Amino acid sequence: MNNFEKLIKTIVNPLVKYPNDIKINLRETDMFHEYILSTNPKDLGRIIGKKGHIIQTVRTIVYSVHVNDDKRVKLVVNDGKN
């Protein structure tokens, strides 16, 4: 587990009812390190929050961490629609 996965889990764990269902996968693209966050479907609303305020705050924290290469970090929530 790298530092971004640990950071995301540290932030998301207290927000959900089913912390054991949190899964984070890394997908590398040419421009991004994409971290895909999956949770129990019952916790999806807790992660996103009203009008997306909670996930936007989580993204702001994650994006503020410096990366040592040219790629940027991107946090994607797996909502089961893709």
Residue 30: give its domain's CATH number. Answer: 3.30.300.20
pLDDT tens digits, the chain, 82 residues: what are they?
A: 468 899 999 999 999 999 999 999 999 999 999 999 999 999 999 999 999 999 999 999 998 887 888 888 999 999 877 5
The total number of structural domains in the chain stands at 1
* pLDDT value, residue 26: 94
Q: How far is CA 7 from CA 16, 30, 32, 52, 79, in A?
A: 15, 23, 17, 19, 20
Q: How many residues does the chain have?
A: 82
Identify any residues that bridge with 76 across adjacent strands, giving them in sequence order. 36
pTM (2 d.p.)? 0.86
Domain encompassing residue 59: 3-77
* pLDDT value, residue 2: 67
Report yes or no on 82 lying in a domain.
no
Q: Give the span between the Cα atoms of 72 and 33, in whole angstroms.
A: 6
* pLDDT value, residue 1: 47
Report yes or no on 59 lying in a domain.
yes
Q: Is 57 in contact with 69 (CB distance < 8 Å)?
A: no
Report yes or no on 19 lying in a domain.
yes
